[in-house]
Amino acid sequence: MKSLNLNIRDFFFSNDCVFCSEKSEEKYRYLCHKCYKKLERKISLRNSGNYYYVFDYDKDIKRLIGFFKLQNRRYISQIFGDLTGKYLKEIIKFEKIDVVIPVPISIKRKRERGFNQVEDILKYLKIPYESVERVKNTKPMHQLLDEELRKENIKNSFESNLKVHGKRILLIDDIVTTGSTVRELTKILKTCGEPKKILVFSLAAAKTAVNNKVSF
């Protein structure tokens, strides 16, 4: 079945490197060896308070995440898993995390896309996680430049019955821009009990998040 799925995917999508269009390697798929190593050199685990991330949201990461989410290149979850998994597992161990929660995408986008990109990465890394329900279809956050519009857009988007009292929680997202989404999710989780600590890990951070020292 895996071979059949691979053949179907290859029929529809070129396997050339998404950055330089050179022939990609079977190990990386959609990336050539040179560009994979270039991404490896960009990795740097950074921490600001209760927020961790490993990539700046530059044009290369933006392009790769775009292919992953918007063009259904689900294999890219393995690329991100290989690149960031070591750091994510270190954080889970170091921070003594009890519960990992991927930020949910809207019902509409999950139906259109067929998957949650963060859940795919966690499944590949075999990291157990709990789910929070997203009950409101929102506009894509990248279309809203104003932070107040982002806050209003994401308001009342989540519901949860998780028992989190006294737990150390790690929220996982692909990109953090202003922090509006994880702040709203944090607010909902606190209605389920009083967590001991809530931290955030994202693949990438936009300059707005870094410059404004986003906190949750």
pLDDT in tens, 88-126: 999 999 999 999 999 988 778 778 878 889 999 999 999
The confidence band for 155, taking pLDDT boundaries of 50, 70 and 90, is low
pTM metric for this prediction: 0.83
Give the pLDDT band (50/70/90) at residue 13: low
Q: What pLDDT sits at residue 10? A: 46
Query: Which is more confidently placed, 133 or 198?
Result: 198
Task: Give percent of the chain above pLDDT 70.
Answer: 77
Sign of the four-CA dihedral 69, 144, 107, 124: positive
| Residues 139, 162: Cα–Cα separation, whole Å | 26
Question: Could you report the per-residue pLDDT of 25-35, keeping only the tens digit for each?
Answer: 767 778 898 99
Looking at per-residue confidence, does 78 or 26 come out higher? 78
**pLDDT band at residue 178 using 50, 70 and 90 as cut-offs:** confident
Q: Is the pLDDT of residue 144 over 70?
A: no
Beta-bridged to residue 173, according to DSSP, are: 202
Query: For all residues of the chain together, what is the average pLDDT?
Result: 82
Q: Residue 6: is its pLDDT beyond 50?
A: no
Has residue 138 got a pLDDT over 90? no
pLDDT number for residue 21 = 83
pLDDT at 196 over 70: yes
For each of the domains in the chain, give its residue range(s) and CATH number, in order of start: 1-41 (no CATH), 43-211 (3.40.50)
Q: Is the dihedral of CA 174, 187, 93, 209 positive or negative?
A: positive
